[in-house]
Amino acid sequence: MNILDKIVARKKEEVASAKAIKTIKDLERSLGFNRRTYALKDFLTDPSKSGIIAEFKRKSPSKGIINDKLSVEEVTKGYSAAGASALSVLTDHDFFMGKDDDLIAARAVNSIPILRKDFMVDEYQIIEAKALGADIILLIAACLTPEEILSFAKLAKSLGLSTLLEVHNREELDRSLNPYLDVIGVNNRNLKDFTVDIETSLSLAEIIPSEFLKISESAISNPETIKMLKKVGYNGFLIGENFMKTSNPGKAMADFVKEI
Ligand SMILES: O=C(O)c1ccccc1NCC(=O)[C@H](O)[C@H](O)COP(=O)(O)O
């Protein structure tokens, strides 16, 4: 079993347990559920922002512990101040050391869109994402059917959430597009074997239909890479480790933004 299959199998167990504790009705009654959301598209196209979706990431399957010392509040406030267009907060515990409370904490101190970075396998998680304070959900084409992507994106839209579809190759892109998606993300990391290659974003840029904004995800550590990605049409850049590996991710991001 590859790592993505393992994560998805574990996620299905977690969702079954969560449903037994909190029903969808409970989630819909929670304080966070009935709030206005921030649209990712508006922030990605705002020229006063950097285009960066900055990630709070303590640990990853490919790198192990990256940074488990800093609070989600201080890191995400630093990212917002450095001009992030959006924040990404991992809520997966077993593989990334994230938690739902990280998202709640980030929501309380930031006024830009927040992506619930997790592995969505059930509609329950989308309703939960809204209740926790997220504005964006991630749908990973490699672990969902086109029918699931359509119904999850439709549900997200009905809740006022933006959907980021993540693809890794042309085949995933071709089978997964639908009009309810807001942004297409190309992941430079192969989630099955962890190899990274910016060429993945460069080569897929021209086949992403122009009605979708495009973001490039993972393994970005050099301002020159952003310049190259902008040239081929990318509007956004999801960056985690490059900032999180420092003792002051907000400052690392501010310094990086000066160079792009
Ligand atoms: O990061 C991993 O090792 C990983 C492994 C398996 C599934 C997903 C994984 N990462 C999720 C991401 O998409 C990244 O956290 C995100 O794009 C930021 O990447 P980076 O800038 O390289 O930290």
Nearest CA to 79 out of 237, 200, 223, 249 is that of 249
241 is catalytic: no
State residue 9's pLDDT score: 97
Name the pLDDT band for 191 (thresholds 50, 70, 90).
confident
Cα 62 to middle of ligand 1, angstroms? 8
How many whole angstroms from 55 Cα to the centroid of ligand 1?
Answer: 9
Tokens of 156: 């997200």
Q: What is the ipTM of this complex?
A: 0.98
Ligand 1, atom 7: closest residue by C-alpha: 191
List the structure tokens of 229.
């990605």
Taking only the tens place, the pLDDT of each residue in 169-190 is 999 999 999 999 999 999 999 9
* H-only helix segments in 168-222: 170-176, 199-204
Q: pLDDT tens digit string along 55-81? A: 999 999 999 999 999 999 999 999 999
Indicate the CATH number for domain 3-259: 3.20.20.70
- The conformation of residue 101, written as its DSSP 8-state character, comes to H
Query: What does each C-alpha distance from 205 to 31, 32, 180, 191 come to in angstroms?
Result: 39, 36, 20, 19
DSSP state of 254: H
Write the pLDDT tens digit of every residue in 5-52. Answer: 999 999 999 999 999 999 999 999 998 899 999 999 999 999 999 999
What mean pLDDT is reported for the chain? Answer: 97
Active site residue 217: yes
What pLDDT does residue 192 have? Answer: 83
Closest CA to ligand 1's atom 5: 61
Residue where the block lists tokens 């902008």: 230
| 87, 115, 168, 189, best to mutate for ligand 1 pocket (most atoms within 8 Å of CB) | 189
- Cα of 218 vs centre of ligand 1, distance in Å, is 6
- Res 1: pLDDT: 86
Phi, psi dihedral angles at 193 (to 5 degrees):
-130, 5
pLDDT at 254 over 90: yes
Decide if pLDDT at 135 tops 90: yes
| Predicted confidence (pLDDT) at residue 120 exceeds the cutoff of 90 | yes
**pLDDT tens digits, 137-181:** 999 999 999 999 999 999 999 999 999 999 999 999 999 999 999
Consecutive H or E run containing 74: helix 72-81
Q: What is the pLDDT of residue 146?
A: 98
- Across the range 197-209, mean pLDDT stands at 97
% residues pLDDT > 90 (the chain): 98
Whole-model pTM: value is 0.97
pLDDT of res. 31: 83
